Amino acid sequence: MEPKRLMVAAGVLALLAGALWWSNKEEANKDKKPGPDDPPKVLEIPQDQIARVEIQRMGGETVVLEKPDAWRLKAPRELPADAEAVSGLLSTLSVLNSDRLVDEKVADFAPYGFQTPILTVAISRKDGKSHTLRIGSDTPTGSAAYARLDGDPRLFTVAAFTKTSLDKTWRDLRDKRLMPFDADSLTRVETGALEFGKNNANNWTLLKPRQVRTDNFAAEELIRKIREAKFEAVNDVTEEESWPRKFAAAAVVGVAKVTDKKGTMQVEIRKDKDNAYFAKSSAVEGVFKTSAELGEALGKKLDDYRNKKLFEFGFAEPDKVEVKQDGASFVFAKSGTGWTKDGKSVEPGDVQQLIDRLRDLTGTGFADSATGAVFAEYTVKSEKVVISKQGDKYFARRADSTEVVTVEAAVVAEIKEKAAAIKQPDPAKKQ
């Protein structure tokens, strides 16, 4: 095609692409715009503008939330706030949709329950503006409640779930974490006789009762459960008052202690005869009921955190793989983008399958020692794994470690089969 025609065609194509983009944008904007029959919004505030929220519940305590840096409860008690619970509340307030508009202009709101509103929510903004939302009686069907804004003559209804999302006590909004530590600066974790610390690779390693290769994933999972452990939120004061007595009578399940840049905190978990779990934390005043998850995690033993995986090269690209087994030897070396054996090219996909199998080589359990004669040796990069055999049992250990794991006979056989099956490329495939 001539250069001039090519330029014209490219220009036409660009115009068509631009028109399509504009059309799609307009359609998306239409989807966002409310239709003429859609119920109007009661309130719309940029969420980052909300600086203070006060919730007055009929017959209940007034709840005040403020955000100097992070959201905190200021009344009826001064406590850290639950970020997730506050986010849900703010999400509802920032775009408060009505169920329907009842009347554009109401002279007397009293018949709709506004003489003594069920709920009054006062919102203060960073820009100095404020809004006061009032929730009145439920509608006759019970599926919605009447709502209005101070200074607005309109009467709305809001869905029952909207009312529920705003009807929060200080217990609902307080930070319920038992151990609110800083995960980024965590340096030590202790659970009874076990102690974990960070190594030079920023992974977790067991320090006590002895240093062993550690399953970092298992350690991270334990830490996640400690970090996410929460106490139950209840509004039944009588039930809450019974928790210290039940905690005192319950059996100790375990103690978790963590150390971050702020210092050390700990939580003790107990379980009563009815299998209910209770917690007492040094970071939160009081005794609380909690879920079973952390208690079950604290019941784990040393072997649950030991690393049964034999190779650590991960997804690094090795340049040499060696399998010696049952009198046979297979050595594969990287050559450019391919692999060779005895100086001849072999199928790189077959070598990759062998590498993948060695990468995943994992023991089924731990043994006190590797009994029997050496049966196989596997080497990838600078890592070597030695397999010994006693009768029909196989034992494996890293050459740089005394820890021994048991491995399945089928796995050992599979590794040799994969090594032996690696052949030269089929010339017919290249044509």
What's the whole-number mean pLDDT along residues 90-99?
A: 95
Phi, psi of 352 (to 5 degrees): -60, -40
| Alpha carbon distance, N-terminus to C-terminus of the chain | 33
- How far from the centroid of its chain's Cα atoms is residue 254's Cα? 23
**Largest Cα–Cα distance in the chain?**
98
3-state secondary structure of 330: strand
Residue by residue, DSSP assigns 181-194 as --GGG--EEEETTE
Q: Output the pLDDT for position 239.
A: 86
pLDDT of 202 above 90 = no
Q: Would the pLDDT of 35 be above 80?
A: no
Average pLDDT in the 175-196 region?
A: 94
Helix %, strand %, coil % for the chain, to 5? 30, 35, 35
- The domain locations on the chain are 41-173, 183-304, 320-425
Residues 398 and 376 sit within 8 Å (Cβ to Cβ): no
* Torsion sign over Cα 202, 208, 210, 215: negative
Mean pLDDT, the chain, whole residue set: 90
Q: pLDDT at position 431, please?
A: 45
Cα separations in angstroms, 229 against 235, 300, 323: 20, 16, 46
For 361-397, the pLDDT digits (tens) are 999 999 988 888 999 999 999 999 999 999 999 999 9
- Segment 351-358 shows an average pLDDT of 96
The token pair at 351 is 């070598």
Pairing state between β 72-75 and 79-80: antiparallel
pLDDT for position 188: 95
- Helix, strand or coil, per DSSP, at residue 361: coil
Task: Please give the average per-residue pLDDT across 163-191, as a whole number.
Answer: 94
Decide if pLDDT at 430 tops 90: no
- pLDDT class for 205, splitting at 50, 70, 90? very high
Share of the chain above pLDDT 70, in %: 90
- CA–CA distance, 416 with 88 (Å, rounded to integer): 57
What is the rounded CA–CA span in Å between residue 401 and residue 9? 68
Average pLDDT over residues 134-157: 95
Mean pLDDT for 186-212 is 92
Residue with tokens 């050595």: 331
Give the burial class of 314: count Cβ atoms within 10 A of its Cβ; 0-12 exposed, 13-18 middle, 19 or more buried.
Answer: exposed
pLDDT at 10 over 60: no
- Residues 256 and 190: their CA atoms lie apart, in Å, by 6
**For residues 109 and 155, is the Cβ–Cβ distance under 8 A?**
yes
DSSP H/E element including 158:
strand 155-159
Show the CA angle centred on residue 349, arms to residues 346 and 351, nearest 5°.
60
CA distance 395 to 309: 13
Cα angle: 138, vertex 88, 136; to 5 degrees: 20
73-91 per-position pLDDT tens digit: 999 999 999 999 999 999 9
The pLDDT of 199-211, averaged and rounded, is: 89
HSE (side-chain half, CA atoms, 13 Å) at 388: 14
* C-alpha–C-alpha distance, residues 7 and 260, integer Å: 63
Closest CA to 416 of 346, 344, 329, 352: 329
Structure tokens at 175: 């930070």
- Interval 288-319: pLDDT, tens: 999 999 999 999 999 999 999 999 999 899 99
CATH of domain 41-173: 2.60.40
